[in-house]
Amino acid sequence: MEAPKKEIIIAVVFGLITGALVSLAVWMLKDKPLSLFDKKEQTKKEQKLSPTPTPDMEKKPLFITIKTPKQNPYSTTQSSLSIQGETIPGSTIIVSTEDKEIITESDKKGQFSIKLELKSEINQIYLTAIDKDKNIKTTQLDIYYEK
């Protein structure tokens, strides 16, 4: 008996590899729609995959918290004051005093910081947060500056 020729061995190996690849492709595509134009089947699968709301995904109510200064009213002998706080991420923050307004935005963690020059005696500062849905929350901070 004659030994198999090189061409026959190559053909058998090529056939085995091709068969394995086709089997793998069929196995991977078994849950896919048969037609790219079958929109009903795709829509059903998309509906199954749409996320179910979880408590983390629910919208938090707007809030504004002053972290520093920690006391309200607050007394200082410094002519400037750094105010740091927290609210909903991406909210617009408006800091209003008797003679000026400063507008900033909270970062992606909801943090904000602003520096103000104080006038002598009592400084009434209003901090207003406005979220993307135009909800508004305001808090007041009373600062006594003694020269």
Higher pLDDT, 10 or 36: 10
Do 45 and 72 have their domain in common? no
Residue 125 lies in a domain: yes
Q: Give pLDDT tens digits for 88-141.
A: 999 999 999 988 999 999 999 999 999 999 988 899 999 999 999 999 999 999
Q: Taking the model in full, what pTM does it have? A: 0.59
Do 39 and 92 have their domain in common? no
The CATH number of residue 97's host domain is: 2.60.40.10
| Domain count along the chain | 2
In the three-class reduction of DSSP (H, G, I as helix; E, B as strand; rest coil), residue 97 is classed as: coil
Domain that holds residue 127: 64-145
In the three-class reduction of DSSP (H, G, I as helix; E, B as strand; rest coil), residue 142 is classed as: strand
The Cα-based distances of 44 to 30, 36, 40, 53, 54 in angstroms read 16, 14, 6, 19, 22
Do 100 and 136 have their domain in common? yes
